[in-house]
């Protein structure tokens, strides 16, 4: 995509201009984000009023000045119906506010007016202030070439008294007024994450949110809005966005009775009250927003590229994800040096690059009733400490990773016996256990420092390349008795900030360390955690068929590079058994891992797995850093699914195709590939099958017929530019 963007820059006269401009005469801000333009202006009341968010415009003169809308009726004053980039709750505002404040004197009226602005390259800061009190809000906009703008705000209390924020949002997206839009979002539950839902947007407010203390499996902080004309994978207008926050978040999608469609995202207002003393500030999480006129496929590719370049640690210089083996489904809590070494030998023989020991290695952790919090190696299971196993793993040519769940404690643990007050609780209320564990109040500085010290010691004393950081329950009884009642609700924010801080400090101190975000599967996947981890655990559900839909939903929002997908034993989750080749070809559509009990494998399983691992290594860069085209949806009633990846340099492409169950002897549909060069000729090799030479035009327009028959059939096609 980069060359295309460069071309666009060269072709259009205004594209040589600065990416952010202020047209002083009209008081209009123009922001160019790669293929998109965003514009807003200052109206007669000095409010910041959105004007445009869509395809790139090349002529600044075309943009109108901002004018407040006329009052519709005494019930809809101009303050309510004039769209604002970041309205305060005040002056009779009835739409979702950007900010809601209670001042110490009881005033609950905030009207923000433009004060000044600073443009620094691709970042704009607009300083606004309440019309009366010295409550200041800086609105930040950062534009990126992938068509994305990042919005967040910094709210500063410059008044002489304490104030309380009751809503602190990151920003708002305004669509062209109208009806007939459609919302797409991701919902789910444990073992059923990132399920796609489409629904019409009607008057009223639809709230996507988490109140659970983490991102949540139930709802993911991503949305897309398409329409009003029908939109497909390849065509049509899609506005999309994602919040970079792993705590309580909220995205409100609203259609007003004046047909304004607006999306407000930021910190959840539920149980939220954040005090600011004089001089204190609150920075809201980043809200990433984008647009494309090329359908859902391009919307996701823009996010994938953006995440790979700007969000994931290391950006474009970061390594390909190694193929890992994880012991969890094979041995659960029954880990010991000998057993893990046996598995490691077998994993290494397959070509696996990283061996990860999961739960069960520490304290009295023989099942999920005890030991969480005691992060010292169990001497009975590991008489040589971790060093013995790590040496064996390294001698086999793999690096070593380990599971931790730092935010948790079993009541039956030395940590809890020493610090019962560290678990989140209200003093006179029962503490609800989930999976026999309580959640530590990570908002406390002493807890944060303890967890940092424990993890720092673990990775300093052992040659650990990778942590799988888990979080296996949500918050209940969100008390913080050590601080004043008026401060206790700050826990929600401070918890997430401290988790972020620990990860950031660990990575800084141990630059080679890689981290996976796991929360009972996909409970902590968002653009906030992706800034600090290398990969995520997509779901505890490793049933290959279920995974196809989970992966389809996941890739709407997040890059396949970070999407961990394991091949595991059958019968799996639903009691379903699928062939090993099918399981591999599903898992290879993301970052491949293996979680089988290799002690139970037959020679032919090893032979097949070796071939698949070698094949994955051949195509891994294309899968992980290429462009993803979802050719056929697993939600299609035909039961046929296919995804195609095209390397950034266009030299390689790989197609995966799966068939749930053939019916009536019907052949699978012809596959029309995408993203190839029409004029180029490609060598086309079907896995275990024929090799042909075909032009890009033929592959995309005439298509490719695959011979997939029966149930749980799967194949892959390698396409190499000649
Ligand atoms: C969670 C994770 C699993 C595994 C177990 C260990 O459920 O998602 O992958 O690590 O915990 O207890």
Asked if the model's pLDDT at residue 701 lies above 70, the reply is yes
Pocket test residue of 326, 372, 403, 593 for ligand 1, highest count of atoms within 8 A of CB:
403
Angle at 452 between CA 436 and CA 246, to 5 degrees: 65
**3-state SS assignment for residue 243:** strand
Distance, in Å, from the CA atom of 204 to the CA atom of 260, rounded to the nearest integer, reads: 11
Q: Which residues, 6 or more positions from 392, have their beta carbon under 8 angstroms from its beta carbon?
A: 337, 341, 344
3-state helix, strand, coil in the chain (%, to 5): 25, 35, 40
When pLDDT is averaged across residues 219-235 and rounded to a whole number, the result is 95
- Percentage of the chain with pLDDT > 90? 97
Question: What's the confidence (pLDDT) of residue 16?
Answer: 60
Say if CB 464 and CB 516 are below 8 A apart: no
pLDDT at 527 > cutoff 70: yes
Give the 3-state secondary structure of residue 248: coil
Predicted confidence (pLDDT) at residue 13 exceeds the cutoff of 60: no
Q: Percent of the chain at pLDDT above 70?
A: 98
> pLDDT value at position 17?
81
Residue-wise over 49-67: b if at least 16 C-beta within 10 A, else e?
Answer: bbbbbbebbeeeeebeebe
The phi and psi torsions of 377 (rounded to 5 degrees) equal -65, 140
The answer to whether the CB of 593 is under 6 A from ligand 1 is no
Structure tokens at 382: 């590991």
**Residues 105-112: what's their mean pLDDT?**
98
- Extract the tokens encoding 698: 């033929």
pTM listed for this prediction: 0.97
Cα 373 to Cα 411: distance, rounded to the nearest angstrom: 9
Q: Is 637 a residue whose pLDDT tops 80?
A: yes
Query: Can you say how many angstroms the Cα of residue 322 is from the centroid of all Cα atoms in its chain?
Result: 20
600-629 tens-digit pLDDT: 999 999 999 999 999 999 999 999 999 999
Beta strands 249-255; 204-209: pairing state = antiparallel
Q: What is the mean pLDDT of residues 698-718?
A: 97
Kindly provide the b/e burial profile for residues 528-551, where b requires at least 16 CB atoms within 10 angstroms of the residue's own CB.
Answer: bbbbbbbbbbbbbbbbbbbbbbbb
Average pLDDT over residues 220-236: 95
Q: Write down the pLDDT at residue 230.
A: 86
pLDDT-based confidence at residue 507 (cuts at 50, 70, 90): very high
Extract the tokens encoding 86: 């970041």
Task: Give me the sign of the Cα torsion angle 582, 585, 590, 595.
Answer: positive
Q: How far is CA 329 from CA 299, 334, 583, in A?
A: 35, 11, 15
Q: Is the pLDDT of residue 15 over 70?
A: no
Average pLDDT over residues 538-543: 98
Atom nearest to 518 CA in ligand 1? 8
Mean per-residue pLDDT, 652-664: 97
CA of 452 to the centre of ligand 1 (A): 21
The mean pLDDT of 223-250, rounded to a whole number, is 96
Q: What is the pLDDT of residue 254?
A: 98
Q: Whose CA is nearest to atom 11 of ligand 1?
A: 520
Mean pLDDT of 10-25: 74
Pocket test for ligand 1, best of 335, 358, 536 (most atoms within 8 A of CB): 358
Residue 14 has pLDDT above 60, yes or no: no
pLDDT at residue 2 above 60? Answer: no
- Mean pLDDT score of the chain: 96
Predicted local distance difference test score (pLDDT) of residue 691:
97
| pLDDT at res. 10 | 38
Q: Is the pLDDT of residue 584 over 80?
A: yes
Is 636 designated active site? no
| Gap between the Cα atoms of 170 and 161, Å rounded | 24
Q: Is the dihedral of CA 166, 172, 178, 183 positive or negative?
A: negative
Beta bridge partners of 441: none
CB 223 within 8 A of CB 181: no
Per DSSP, 575 falls in state S
Would you state the pLDDT for residue 653?
Answer: 99
Q: What would the mean pLDDT of 652-656 be, rounded to a whole number?
A: 98
The yes-or-no verdict on residue 413 having pLDDT over 80 is: yes
Quote the distance between the C-alpha of residue 542 and its chain's center: 19
Q: Is the pLDDT of residue 669 over 80?
A: yes
Tokens of 188: 């789910």
pLDDT band (50, 70, 90) for residue 107: very high
Q: Is residue 60 among the annotated active site residues? A: no
* pLDDT tens, position by position, 447-482: 999 999 999 999 999 999 999 999 999 999 999 999
Spatial distance between the Cα atoms of 606 and 561, rounded to a whole number of angstroms: 25
Which secondary structure element, helix H or strand E, spans residue 122, and what is its range? none
pLDDT digits (tens, 9 = 90+) for 314-357: 999 999 999 999 999 999 999 999 999 999 999 999 999 999 99
Calpha distance 94→563 (Å, rounded): 40
DSSP strand pairing (148-157 vs 48-55): unpaired
From the candidates 226, 359, 540, 546, give the one annotated as an active-site residue.
540
Per-residue confidence (pLDDT) for residue 322, from 0 to 100? 98
CB of 359 sitting under 6 A from ligand 1: yes
Q: Whose CA is nearest to atom 6 of ligand 1?
A: 359
Per-residue pLDDT averaged across 414-422, rounded? Answer: 98
The pLDDT value recorded for residue 293 is 97
**pLDDT tens digits for 349-391?**
999 999 999 999 999 999 999 999 999 999 999 999 999 999 9
By alpha-carbon position, which residue is closest to atom 8 of ligand 1? 520
Distance 152 CA to ligand 1 centre (A): 33
Give the relative orientation of helices 491-509 and 445-461 as an angle to the nearest 10 degrees.
Answer: 20
- The atom number, within ligand 1, closest to the CA of 540 reads 8
Summarize pLDDT for 300-314 with one digit per residue, the tens: 999 999 999 999 999
Q: Which of 122, 470, 534, 546 is flagged as catalytic?
A: 470
From 520, 521, 547, mutation site for ligand 1 pocket: most ligand atoms within 8 A of C-beta = 520
């Amino acid at each position: 995509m980069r060359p295309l963007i460069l071309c666009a820059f060269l072709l259009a006269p205004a594209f040589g201009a600065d990416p952010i401009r202020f047209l002083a005469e009209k008081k209009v801000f123009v922001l160019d984000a790669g293929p998109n333009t965003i514009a807003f202006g200052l109206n007669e009341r000095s409010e910041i009023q959105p004007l445009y968010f869509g395809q790139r415009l090349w002529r600044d003169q075309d943009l109108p000045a901002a004018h407040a809308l006329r009052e519709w009726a005494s019930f809809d004053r101009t303050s309510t119906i004039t769209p604002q980039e970041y309205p305060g709750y005040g002056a009779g505002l009835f739409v979702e506010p950007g900010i809601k404040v209670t001042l110490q004197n009881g005033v609950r009226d905030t009207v923000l007016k433009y004060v000044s602005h600073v443009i620094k390259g691709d970042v704009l800061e607009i300083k606004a202030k309440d019309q009366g009190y010295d409550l200041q809000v800086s609105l930040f906009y950062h534009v990126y070439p992938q068509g994305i703008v990042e919005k967040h705000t910094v709210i500063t209390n410059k008044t002489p008294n304490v104030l309380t924020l009751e809503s602190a949002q990151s920003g708002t997206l305004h669509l062209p007024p109208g009806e007939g839009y459609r919302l797409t979002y991701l919902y789910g539950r444990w073992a059923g994450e990132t399920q796609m839902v489409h629904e019409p947007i009607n008057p009223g407010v639809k709230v996507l949110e988490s109140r659970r203390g983490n991102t949540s499996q139930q709802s993911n902080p991503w949305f897309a809005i398409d329409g009003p004309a029908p939109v497909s994978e390849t065509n049509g207008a899609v506005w999309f966005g994602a919040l970079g926050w792993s705590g309580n978040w909220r995205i409100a999608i609203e259609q007003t009775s004046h047909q304004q469609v607006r999306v407000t995202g930021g910190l959840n207002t539920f149980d939220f009250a954040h005090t600011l003393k004089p001089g204190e500030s609150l920075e809201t999480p980043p809200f990433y927003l984008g647009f494309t006129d090329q359908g859902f496929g391009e919307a996701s590719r823009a996010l994938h590229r953006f995440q790979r370049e700007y969000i994931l640690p290391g950006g474009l210089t970061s390594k390909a994800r190694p193929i890992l083996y994880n012991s969890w489904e094979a041995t659960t809590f029954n880990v010991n040096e000998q057993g893990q070494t046996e598995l490691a030998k077998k994993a290494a023989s397959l070509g696996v690059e990283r061996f990860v020991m999961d739960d069960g290695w520490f304290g009295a952790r023989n099942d999920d009733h005890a030991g969480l919090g005691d992060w010292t190696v169990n001497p009975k299971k590991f008489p040589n400490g971790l060093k013995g196993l790590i040496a064996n793993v390294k001698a086999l040519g793999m690096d070593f990773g380990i599971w931790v769940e730092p935010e948790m404690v079993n009541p039956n643990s030395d940590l809890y016996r020493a610090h019962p007050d560290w678990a989140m609780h209200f003093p006179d209320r029962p503490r609800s256990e989930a999976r026999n564990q309580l959640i530590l109040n990570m908002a406390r500085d002493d807890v944060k420092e303890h967890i940092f010290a424990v993890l720092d010691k673990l990775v300093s004393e052992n040659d650990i390349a990778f942590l799988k950081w888990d979080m296996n329950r949500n918050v209940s009884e969100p008390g913080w008795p050590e601080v004043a009642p008026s401060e206790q609700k700050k826990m929600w924010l401070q918890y997430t900030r401290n988790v972020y801080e620990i990860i950031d400090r660990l990575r800084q101190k141990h630059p080679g360390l890689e981290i996976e975000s796991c929360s009972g599967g996909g409970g902590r996947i968002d653009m906030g955690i992706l800034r600090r981890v290398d990969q995520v655990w997509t779901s505890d559900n490793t049933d290959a068929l279920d995974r196809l839909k989970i992966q389809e939903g996941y890739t709407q929002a997040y890059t396949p590079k970070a999407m961990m997908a394991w091949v595991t034993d059958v019968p799996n989750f639903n009691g379903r058994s699928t062939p090993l080749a099918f399981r591999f070809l599903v898992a290879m559509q993301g970052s491949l891992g293996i979680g089988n009990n290799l002690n139970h494998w037959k020679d032919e399983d090893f032979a097949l797995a070796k071939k698949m691992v070698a094949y994955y290594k051949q195509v891994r860069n294309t899968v992980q850093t290429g462009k993803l085209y979802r050719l056929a949806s697993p939600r299609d009633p035909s039961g046929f699914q296919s995804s195609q990846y095209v390397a950034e340099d266009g030299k390689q492409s790989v197609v995966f195709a799966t068939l749930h169950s053939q019916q009536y002897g019907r052949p699978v549909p012809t596959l029309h590939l995408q993203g190839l060069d029409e004029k180029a000729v490609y060598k086309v090799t079907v896995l275990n099958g024929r090799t042909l030479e075909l032009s890009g035009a033929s592959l995309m327009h005439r298509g490719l017929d695959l011979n997939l028959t029966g149930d749980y059939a799967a194949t892959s096609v390698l396409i190499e530019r000649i």
